[in-house]
Structure formats: structure tokens, C-alpha cells
Structure 1
Amino acid sequence: MSEPALRVEGLRKSFGGAEVLRGIDLEVAPGEVVVVIGPSGCGKSTLLRCLNHLEPPTAGRVWLRGELVGAHEEEGRLLPRPEAEVNQQRARMGMVFQRLNLFPHLTVLGNVIEAPIRVKGLSRQQAEALALRLLGRTGLLDKKDEYPARLSGGQQQRVAIARALAMEPEVMLFDEATSALDPELADDVLQVMHDLAREGMTMLVVTHEMTFAREVGHRVVMMEAGRVIEQGPPDVIFTTPSQPRTREFLRKVLHSRDALPPG
């Protein structure tokens, strides 16, 4: 059995007196697409941010391909890694956020080549060759010289995906990547994510897009109040969930998504 791409054990996160994550245990296999669902405020986004140490966990451990993230163990104690090492680990986990957070002063091409040059030490020629290939893959090659302000939200999000892929990550984390987009623009982004899954990219996806979860996910994880309350294959979770809270959540979400507007 191969080593998990990601392994999470006893992950907890508190902000002040509020405990947002309450002991998350989770594994993601290489090439697996795990979709995390649950109501707003249940800790889904915080989970992703703790995985790559944008938010240091209050307790628990995260391993990336067997390497402890954000800390190292010495004589049974966890000691923080130097920030440079943490940044190198983050570079192995591409993350696409809900917010469209491109650099506004850089062109599309400039956005994608920035990190490979600064973090990975690629030459500009190498970085541009990689960026052009990724922009072609995400359907944006003709927009390479545009600035973000001249792109639609969906195009900006696809640039963000290309930018994350430019670091050649081992895992991709998606945090509600389509929630700020109208359905037509969201479909373009979801298609790129679908293509990545088909190519074998390991992905952990927080989303309210239930069709994507059902069709692309290998496993669906349901969160509630900072805990994983249920997980399993999409056909099981969507047809015969074991937890009443999962059934209630899916009934509400599927009803609201599937309802047609009047007229």
C-alpha cells in the first residue's frame, strides 16, 4: 500500500476561545480526489489553511508524503520548522482560494511565472515555457498579455489554477474556487479541475458544487462543527448517508441547486 499523499491526525485549531477544528483525522491517497462538504462555518476552509500551514494548527499533525508539515520532531517534541522550510513545503501544495487574488500589476503571464522564478529558481525562459504550456492547458493562452482587471472572474480563477500548477505541486487544494462566480463562468473552472482529476492530480476540494462532488470525487467528506462526521464514495454519501445531519444538509443543498428559477 502506497504512502498517503496527505495524512492528518488529531488536527485542532482555535481562534481565541473558539475551537474551529476539533480533531480531524484524514488521509488522501496519491491521485485521489477528496471533496469536503458541509455548512458554512463548519471549518472546511480552516482545514485547508492548516494543511499548508497558512494557519498553524493548535494541535495535531499533518504529513505531506510522509514529511511532517510546519514542524519537525526532536526527542518526542514538535519544534517549528524555519519559515524557509515551511515555504518550500507550501510550494508542494498548490492552493486556489475563493477570492480572486492575482497580482493586479502583473500580466497573466507575469502572474504565472513569478513564483517559479522567485521560489524555484527557474530562469525566465524556463518559467515562460512552463507558463505558456499551463495557460494553454487552462484555455488562456490568448490572454497571456492581459492584466487581471480585463479578465472575467472565471478567467482570473483559471489563471490562479495555472499559477498554482506552475510550482508543480504534489497536491492541489481548492477552497470554494467557484463560489464567487456565476454558473457559466464556474463551469469553465470546474472543467479545468475535472481535467486535472482525470490526469491523476491529487486534490482536496472544498465546494458546494454537488455535481462535481458526485461525478469527479473519489470520496466525499462531510464536516459539521469542526469534525468529520461521515465520509465515503459519492454514490453512498449522496444516496444512503448514515448521518441524519448529512441527509439534512444534502436535501437543502440539492434542492436549492436543482430548483429552476421561475419563468
Structure 2
Amino acid sequence: MIDVTAAAQHRYTVNLSILFSELPLLERPAAAAAAGFTAAELWWPFGESATPSEAELDALRKAFTDAGVRLTGLNFLDDLSLGVRGTVSVPAAKDRFRANVPVAAELAASLGTKALNALYGNRVEGVDPAEQDALALENLVLAARAAHEIGAILLIEALNKPESPDYPLVSAAAAVEVVDKVNAATGLGNAKFLCDLYHLAMNGEDLAAVIDTYADRFGHVQIADNPGRNEPGTGGLDFEDLFARLTAAGYTGRIGLEYRPSTGVSADSFEWLPRELRSAG
């Protein structure tokens, strides 16, 4: 179990797109509540549908409100179910992404969600990277403004190159550069870096240096152990040190549990985190 002193300085949210995935989506908020969590986050939960029906949206809202779990983070249309790493920079997805922005923002507003994540998207063969980057900036500006209207932040994430070889943001510096461009374009200052320590570790980054250098840009932190992308304690990352560094750097946001349970049973993967700390979402 992680040292309680280090872990207790932070608040936690459970990612219901990767944890409790052995259950139907609408049963996951209740399962999270049964495990002691009061906050959760989601990748875009409607597959490739950018504009799900009101009945689908209402069912998801009801699942969270009935369970007493707050949705604290939500992805814009990401096409992860299709093996894609986001739609922001993909020309063929331009209309779908833009149709999704108000839908995702309205869903977030209705559940009190204050963080919206926009995955950048893979490089597309035959398309000039500069063209993709220009489109990404246009789309991220739209997303940042939509987030601002509901009092939320926009998150921009780096992924790891071994698992996402066509995704261009594979370092903290690359993601922060995009964050800065969005904030310069909007003047809103609500674009932030989603620091996923697993992805950065997979890329070989010095996690302590990332925290020390960029903590003031963090809008959210996500964790999984490395290697394996399982719960803390199953790999080689020193979470006691990382939690302490986040505290020392002044990070006060949530830490998202975005890992696969090592046994395949989500409810058994939380022993490292005392139950009394799970509800501090």
C-alpha cells in the first residue's frame, strides 16, 4: 500500500472507461460508489457517435446522479473505440468534432464537470502536418471557448509513442507548447496540461523534472504504474515520491486513476488506496 501520508495530500477520481469496464457503462458509476469513490471521469462514452440521442445522454446523467458520483472529467469526441487517438487534428473528423463540442459541453455542464479533454489526433498519411496543426488550433480554440462558457478548463494530453506511434504529442514539452498556443489565441488562459505520468514514463521522461518544470500548467494528473499500466505497486514507479513532489510543487487538483486492474477485477485493484481517501473527490 502506498504511504498514506503521501497519498492523503491528494484527491482521486476513477476513470470509468478503463476501470470497471467489465460492467456495462451505466452500471459503472454505482460500482465506483460501492468501492468508495465519489468522483469519476470518462473518455467520450458514446463511441463514434458525436451527437448521441437525448435518451442516451439522459441515461448517462441518471447513472451518475443515482450513484451519487460526480463526473469530474470528460473527453470530447476521441474515437478511441475505433483505435484512433482523438479527432482534433484530423481533417476527415472536422465536422464531427465541431458537432460534438456543444454536446460534450452541455453534458459536462449538466453534471458539474469542470475539465474537458481534447485528444490531439494521429498524423494522417498524405496530409501535411502543418495543415493538421492549423486545424487542431482552430478546433482547440472552439473547445476552449465552449469550456470557458461552462466554467471549465480544456485539457491537452501527451500520449506515449510505443502505444501511439502516430500521435505527435509524445512529450510534456510538446503538449505544453500546444497549451500555450491555445491560450495565446483565446486570451482565456483555461487550456491546461493533462499530465499522465504513465504515458510520460513510457516515453522515458524524467517525471520529477516534468513536475518541477510544468506543475503550474497542470490541469489534471492521471496515473498508472509502468510497465503494465496496472495499479500502483505493480510496476516500478515510486508513487510515494511522485505524490510528495506534486504536493511540494503546489498541485491541488485531482489525480485520475486510469489503469487496468492487474487481476482483471476492478474492485480488487484499490487496496493501495485506503478507502477513506477514495471519497475525497
Bin for the TM-score computed over the shorter chain: 0.3 to 0.5
Quick check: which has more Rg, 1 or 2? Answer: 1
Q: Could you tell me the TM-score, scaled by structure 2's length?
A: 0.36
Q: Could you tell me the TM-score, scaled by structure 1's length?
A: 0.38
Higher share in strand: 1
